Structure 1
Amino acid sequence: MKTWLLALAAGTWLGAQTPSPDALGALPGVAWADAKALATAPADWSRAQWGEAGLCAAAVLGTALLLDRTVDDGMGRSQTPGRTRLARDLAKPGGMAGLAVLGAGYAVTSLLDLDKPRSVFVDMGLSAVLAQAAILPVKVLAGRARPVDGYGDHAFKPFSSRDGFPSGHAAQAFAMAAALSARTDRTWVSVASYGVAGLVGLSRLQTRDHFASDVLAGALVGIYAGRAVTGLDQARRAGKRVAVEVRPALGPGGAGFTVSARF
């Protein structure tokens, strides 16, 4: 703990001394600007883009109607104490442990004055936090029971303590994966990052904390946040005024988002 606090303090001091757009003191303002951009982006979507978003929503709905019960039944039958322990370990990147690793990475790269790696940790951290923030109101409005609650896959009670939809772990894991993938030109890094995120999603199914549609919805939110935040922050670091456009995309290979920037 003392080492962590020392590294964070050193990173804070260096951030204050170095004129960097990723200095610790600048991050709250950056997070607010990114949040507003993400929240208002759909207002500029065309009819075609809204149609694509509708297809993504239909994919989540179709998963809920056709796969949720079947997948959960299979996971329930395959549960063993060992698999449950492994699944809980695999889920850690989507929880507080994942955020702690990002915080430590930010502190160390600030201490060593490594601007580019630090900017990657910033993009991943902001993506994760904003993805989690985006799903909170949905969780409250949906009020979906978790599989372990025993109410079935059609149990919704808005404004209750139920918070199964969407999956926060999946949203965070895929947000970090999307941000890291967007910042690298190495295929293996993208494959590995999305692979880890996929394992987080599967682990939430194995422990019966979520239905398949919860995980898919969380993953889509995370990918949206990760790609959009990275595009916005890269433009900010370059000092350019750009319009970053994030479009939903659905094709034979699956659902996701595409990002473009207009200079």
Structure 2
Amino acid sequence: MAYETTTKAAGSIHRREAARALRLPLRSATVNVWAVLLGGGVTLAGTFAIQLLIVPWVQRRTRGRERWENDVDAIYSAVAEKVSLAVATADRSGHNALMARSFLQTAEHDETLNREFLTATIEGARTADEALAERMAEVRILLRRISRVNPDSPYWDQLALQFLKLHNSIRRAQEGEPGKWFDEWQHVYKALNGLHRKIDDLADRVPLRPPARPTIFSRSRTEIRSKLTMRARSSPSIRHAREQRDDA
């Protein structure tokens, strides 16, 4: 009897251990399935976020960078070729018009022929001036476009200032006195070379990259200097001294 009781107890223990052994793999398998599902969901969400946000951003940035590089090449070609040729043509055509006026004042030829010659020469000078204005407008548009990348970079202000020097020197040369024609156009060529060198600083970079943005310290220092300058200009004593200088 005792033997049967012991045997039954041992059998019950073995059955419980066997049942526990059978349940453990099922529970472990359930945990593994949920882990796989969770990992797959996270991976799918990450892939979706990358496709929805990061990939379009990278594509837009790449296309914008390519457009910027094309604009840099375009402005380099415009200044080195188109503007340079237009400046030389305007200089030569304008000088020819001045020489024609001077020649016709002393020439003893047929008035009709003289008038036609002068009209053609002046028209050629006007056409050259218009072509130069178109080339300068093209460069101005390209300057605005390339300066959209890192717009707070000091390089863009320097480049815009050099372009303004060229624009003003051309205007003075075209509107100046005939006796100062050569000197005024020398200033034009000097300003053109300065603009060309400034663009070379950007176009010659390998790899081609936008100019660096200012650091926080230099940006703050520039803002402080600008505010101090504006405050000094608005000072009553400064205005009074400027008025006295103008009256003198």
Report the structure number with the largest CA radius of gyration.
Answer: 2
Q: Give the TM-score taking structure 2 as reference length.
A: 0.25
**Structure with more helix by fraction:** 2
Q: What's the TM-score, normalizing by structure 1?
A: 0.24
Q: Select the structure with the greater relative contact order (CA < 8 A; seq sep ≥ 6).
A: 1
